[in-house]
A and B are shown apart, each in its own frame.
Chain A
Amino acid sequence: MAGDIYFNGSALTGQHDTYFNGVAMDNVYLDGTKIWTRHPYAIGTEIFTYSWSAGGNINNFISTYHATYPLAFASTPSYSQGSGSPDSTLGFTLADGFYVSYYNQDEYGTDSDGVGASNTGGTYNIWQGNTVTGLARTGGGGSLSITSSGNNGSSFKVTYSGQ
């Protein structure tokens, strides 16, 4: 795992800070077992911000954000159309080391301390109706501090924690 090698008591946290004969390593193995993988991003890197509106299109999340930042996801997001147009939801799971660091819902304001309980991984659900939108944390423990459905638009930011 990233950060599993320590030097002078500190975890190696850079993207490429393990070298062999002057060559930066992507992976380090000990007796055939992978013990370290380079960080795909510098810790604290803001990977993307996604915004959506009531009555809009959230299916583009898969074709744009998942397609552009596949390392941030543990699996392909799943889109579901509800019974009343434009009701729809989209579920996604972040990969270890990535977390929702910011969530804003137009009616209810901002969750600016991040994540409720964790700064790595977790399952989320994006939702939109004809007048409302929101984001819910549905797996991995904890809860966003702002509710998962309110008037008008919403946005959230995914950041790399490296954990």
Chain B
Amino acid sequence: MPTAEQITHYYEGLCKVVDNINTGKPDDMIQASWDIHSSRNIEWLRTIVDADFWTDEDMTAVHLIID
């Protein structure tokens, strides 16, 4: 199992993924790349949200994307 410090790190990454998806395609990314990039990140959110190491992290923003 990851340490508390690692869980914090993973949660920060998760929140950053959510923010980036909600912000939308950056200007320097071609549309084809964005389509794959965003779908991979959403698919990752679908699996990581059920990881057994989370404790009381707020997943509301994740569920707004994946549900």
Contact = CB atoms under 8 A, between A and B. Distances in A.
B37 A149 contact: yes
A32 B64 CA distance: 57
Interface residues of B, number: 27
Interface of B is mostly: helix
A148 B32 contact: no
- A-B residue pairs, 5 tightest by C-beta: A84-B32, A129-B33, A143-B47, A149-B40, A108-B13
Contacts of A83: 32
B2 to A, nearest CB: 5
A147 B17 contact: yes
Interface of B: 1-3, 6, 9-10, 13-14, 16-17, 26, 28-33, 36-37, 40-41, 43-45, 47-48, 51
A59 interface: no
A123 to B, nearest CB: 13
Contacts of A116: 51
User: Which of A82, A87, A144, A145 counts the most B-chain CB atoms under 10 A from its CB?
Assistant: A145
Interface of A is mostly: loop
B36 A82 contact: yes
B29 A129 contact: yes
B14 to A, nearest CB: 8
Interface of A: 82-84, 87, 89, 107-113, 116, 127, 129-132, 134, 136, 142-149
User: Which of B9, B14, B29, B44 counts the most A-chain CB atoms under 10 A from its CB?
Assistant: B44
